[in-house]
């Protein structure tokens, strides 16, 4: 099960994280906290290692997070997909045929209800629920939207991952290297 046989979507925050990821067998990876000048080299590096990078548009320094930025990312940088909280970025990503992952921050019930209305309009390919350590909300969002869920944020242990997956998450995003190793596809741990 999982997302392309991955239960974990490893998220790289720093160049050293990216170096570690290139040595692991994950196909899809998430790139966080980058600078506009690093985008193309990072995507090219990832692709040269058989990886499909998902860029977090909200965390790119030097690039405004709007529809024009999404167009630039889709047409020039060419990642496998884009992660964002912004509806316009998600819409533009979908128009360009890339994976569109819309982030949902769980603040309160009112924000959650407004998000359901937004998801009806944007129709993302995936919803990333943050924090990802609230299993009953993961299950609710999955059931209410019918959209596959990624769980992320505050995922610290194997148990956190398993609870999120058990609640219906398709995969879990994490920057925790130990969890990357534990759940690595084609590794001893992943096939349990």
Residues of the chain with pLDDT > 70, as a percent, come to 96
Residue 142 has pLDDT above 60, yes or no: yes
Where in 69-192 does DSSP place strands (E)?
81-84, 99-105, 126-130, 149-152, 171-174
3-class DSSP assignment, residue 111: helix
Q: What token pair was written down for 65?
A: 């997070």
Contacts of 182 (CB under 8 A, 6+ apart): 158, 189
Q: What is the pLDDT of residues 73-93, one digit of tens each?
A: 999 999 999 999 999 999 999
With tokens 């533009």, the residue in question is: 92
Residue 191 has pLDDT above 70, yes or no: no
Q: What is the pLDDT of residues 26-78, one digit of tens each?
A: 999 999 999 999 999 999 999 999 999 999 999 999 999 999 999 999 999 99
pTM of structure = 0.94
Q: What is the pLDDT of residue 190?
A: 42
Residue 132 has pLDDT above 90, yes or no: yes
**Is 30 within 8 Å of 9 (Cβ atoms)?**
yes
Q: What is the pLDDT of residue 1?
A: 54
**Is 128 within 8 Å of 156 (Cβ atoms)?**
no
Distance CA 83, CA 104 (A): 11
Q: What is the pLDDT of residue 139?
A: 98
Residue 120 has pLDDT above 90, yes or no: yes
Which strand (E) or helix (H) includes residue 61?
A: strand 60-61
In which band, very low, low, confident or very high, does the pLDDT at 121 lie, cut at 50, 70 and 90? Answer: very high
**What domains can be seen in the chain, in order of their start residue?**
8-182 (3.20.20.70)
Q: What token pair was written down for 173?
A: 């995003």
Q: What is the pLDDT of residue 170?
A: 98
Distance CA 4, CA 20 (A): 20
Residue 192 has pLDDT above 60, yes or no: no
């Amino acid at each position: 099960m999982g997302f392309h046989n991955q239960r974990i979507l490893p998220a790289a925050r720093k160049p050293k994280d990216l170096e570690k990821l290139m040595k692991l067998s994950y196909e899809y990876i998430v790139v966080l906290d980058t600078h506009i000048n690093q985008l193309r080299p990072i995507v090219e590096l990832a692709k040269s290692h058989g990886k499909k990078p998902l860029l977090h548009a909200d965390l790119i320094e030097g690039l405004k997070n709007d529809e024009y930025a999404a167009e630039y990312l889709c047409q020039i940088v060419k990642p496998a997909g884009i992660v964002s909280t912004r509806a316009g970025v998600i819409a533009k990503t979908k128009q360009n045929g890339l994976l569109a992952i819309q982030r949902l921050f769980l603040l309160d019930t009112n924000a959650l209800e407004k998000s359901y209305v937004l998801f009806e309009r944007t129709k993302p390919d995936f919803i990333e629920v943050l924090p990802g350590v609230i299993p009953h909300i993961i299950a609710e969002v999955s059931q209410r939207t019918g959209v596959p869920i990624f769980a992320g944020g505050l995922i610290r242990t194997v148990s956190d991952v398993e609870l999120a997956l058990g609640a219906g998450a398709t995969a879990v995003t994490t920057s925790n290297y130990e969890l990357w190793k534990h759940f690595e596809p084609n590794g001893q741990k992943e096939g349990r």
